[in-house]
Amino acid sequence: MGKKVALTGNEAAAHAIRQINPDVIAAFPITPSTPIPQAVAQFIADGEMDTELVTVESEHSAMSACIGAAAAGGRVMTATSANGYALMWEMLYIASGMRLPIVMAVVARALSAPLNIHGDHSDIMGGRDTGWIQIISENSQEAYDNLIQAVKIAENKDVMTPALVAQDGFNTSHTIEIWELEDDNKVKEFIGEYTPLFPLLNTDDPVTHGAWAPPNWYFEHKINQLKGLLDSKEVVEKVGKEFGDTFGRYYGLYEDYKLDDAEYVIVAAGSVCGTTKDVVDNLRENGIKAGLLKIRLFRPFPYRELAEALQSAKAIAVLDRVSPAGAQGGPLFTEIRSALYDTQTRAPVINYTYGLGGRDTQPRHINSVFETLKKIVETGKVEKQFDCLNLRGEWR
């Protein structure tokens, strides 16, 4: 059992980073993740960690320096949000393509325009195809636990893929919650030592990193990379179990909340799952079979397991904290619906966009989703496949 502390999500991430004590961090401040590099700088200034902190001049350089450092041969971490994550875009693909197990804390936030510093998933969802492992946290405890696990997942020899651990901007990052901070040495022991495979700094055996590949090789590189990413699924499960055995909190690919016999199911990711759990509890007390499927691992997308977990549902609502941007629905919706196509169920699946730019999502909004699901089952009709929660007026 760790020590119970009352700290924010950002502080949870910062403490995880302090305990991981990576060799190099290159970071550039951006709201709402700024408190992470700030805390790290203070830990270093106070001698509580001995990481080389490279205070770069942009997020593009942050990820570039992380890539250089990781290729050089050592443990590397960073943190960012929103526009900073977007500025890294080019380098995110390069980090994964060069198979460097960098771990990044992302405090998810809306992308401009209009400028907005508050929480949503526009950033991480936009980067879902960058080849990174993406783990989404519901609260501070998970932000802390997931970062520690991510190091072990990314560095696994079969994986060698960078990983990001997201938490929701402000909802989690700036909210004080009670969570368990584990013992420093126990965390160090859990993550173990990292031995890089082809360190650039081994001048006795010079290696060329980042060669370019023409049409006769590029394809093979990308498919090998995909294998590493897909193989991480098993490692996520394994590390989640090991983490549970060590610290008492077990993690799988997803979390099922009162899902076994659930007829009305919400699929969601991030802090809204906390609210949804409360609503599910209330509905259950009233005999309504509500349930939640909480996404934890979004990339690689564990589509078989998720589809399997949804088989009892009579109607499903998928909540996306990002605009569908012209697709049939949000990214989570389209993936869930696609995953279900190969299974027996033909339960209707509807999609909501919620919480953009920090818009509040309260129990009454989640309640309205369950009411709609109930109505769909009762009438057999889907009036709106897509809708918005807590938006002024009708969306269309």
Partner 1 sequence: MALLNELAKKKEGLVSGHRLCPGCTHSVIMRQVFAVAETDKYDIVVAAATGCFEVSTGLYPYTSWNVPWIHTAFENAASTISGVEAMYRALKKKGKLNKEIRFIAVASDGGTYDIGLQALSGAIERGHQFLYICNDNNAYQNTGNQRSSATPFAGSTTTSPNGKVKFGKEQPRKDIVSIIEGHHLPYTAQASPSNWRDLMNKIKKALDINGPTYINVLEPCTTGWGFPPHMAIEIAQLAVDTCVWPLYEVIKGKVVINYKPKKKLPVTEYLKPQKRFAHLFKKGNEHLIEEFQKQVDAHWEWLLKREECGIEYGV
x/- string (CB under 8 A) for partner 1, residues 319-338?
--------------------
Site for partner 1 in 45-84 (CB under 8 A): 50-52, 54-58, 60-62, 64-74, 76
Backbone angles phi, psi at 226, to 5 degrees: -60, -40
Type of residue at 226:
L
Least distance in Å: CB of 211 to partner 1? 4
Which tokens sit at 161? Answer: 């893929």
According to the binding rule CB under 8 A, does residue 206 interact with partner 1? yes
Q: Are 361 and 354 in contact (CB under 8 A)?
A: yes
Least distance in Å: CB of 23 to partner 1? 4
Closer of 142 and 155 to partner 1 (Cβ): 155
According to the binding rule CB under 8 A, does residue 208 interact with partner 1? yes
Least distance in Å: CB of 223 to partner 1? 14
Closer of 74 and 126 to partner 1 (Cβ): 74
Query: What angle (nearest 5°) sits at the alpha carbon of residue 165, between those of residues 163 and 169?
Result: 145
Closer of 67 and 86 to partner 1 (Cβ): 67
Cα distances (Å, whole numbers) of residue 358 to 144, 169, 170, 176, 181: 22, 8, 8, 17, 27
Contact with partner 1 (CB under 8 A) among 128, 188, 209, 284 = 209
According to the binding rule CB under 8 A, does residue 362 interact with partner 1? no
Q: Report how far residue 87's alpha carbon sits from residue 154's, in angstroms, rounded to the nearest whole number.
A: 22
Least distance in Å: CB of 64 to partner 1? 4
Beta strands at 3-7 and 177-181: parallel, antiparallel or unpaired: antiparallel
- Look at the block and give the residue holding tokens 């401040």: 29
Least distance in Å: CB of 298 to partner 1? 26
Q: Report how far residue 34's alpha carbon sits from residue 120's, in angstroms, rounded to the nearest whole number.
A: 16
Closer of 203 and 286 to partner 1 (Cβ): 203
Q: Which helix (H) or strand (E) holds 20?
A: helix 9-20
Q: Is 67 helix (H, G, I), strand (E, B) or coil?
A: helix
Q: What is the dihedral of CA 249, 254, 257, 260, to 10 degrees?
A: -120
Site for partner 1 in 80-99 (CB under 8 A): 90-91, 94, 98
Site for partner 1 in 164-203 (CB under 8 A): 200-203
According to the binding rule CB under 8 A, does residue 44 interact with partner 1? no
Closer of 32 and 196 to partner 1 (Cβ): 196
Order of strands, edge to edge, in the sheet holding 24-27?
52-55, 24-27, 76-80, 103-108, 163-168, 133-136, 297-299
Contact with partner 1 (CB under 8 A) among 12, 14, 20, 26 = 26
Least distance in Å: CB of 283 to partner 1? 50
Least distance in Å: CB of 53 to partner 1? 8
According to the binding rule CB under 8 A, does residue 225 interact with partner 1? no
| Neighbour count for residue 138 (Cβ, 10 Å) | 25
According to the binding rule CB under 8 A, does residue 29 interact with partner 1? no
Q: Are 350 and 376 in contact (CB under 8 A)?
A: yes
According to the binding rule CB under 8 A, does residue 207 interact with partner 1? yes
According to the binding rule CB under 8 A, does residue 385 interact with partner 1? no
Q: Report how far residue 295's alpha carbon sits from residue 266's, in angstroms, rounded to the nearest whole number.
A: 11
According to the binding rule CB under 8 A, does residue 217 interact with partner 1? yes
Q: Which helix (H) or strand (E) holds 53?
A: strand 52-55
Q: Are 33 and 173 in contact (CB under 8 A)?
A: yes
According to the binding rule CB under 8 A, does residue 221 interact with partner 1? yes
Closer of 62 and 310 to partner 1 (Cβ): 62
Order of strands, edge to edge, in the sheet holding 386-388?
254-257, 290-295, 264-268, 315-320, 349-353, 386-388
Q: Are 85 and 127 in contact (CB under 8 A)?
A: yes
Closer of 205 and 285 to partner 1 (Cβ): 205
Closer of 219 and 250 to partner 1 (Cβ): 219
Closer of 73 and 228 to partner 1 (Cβ): 73
Contact positions toward partner 1, by CB under 8 A? 23-24, 26, 50-52, 54-58, 60-62, 64-74, 76, 90-91, 94, 98, 200-203, 206-214, 217, 221
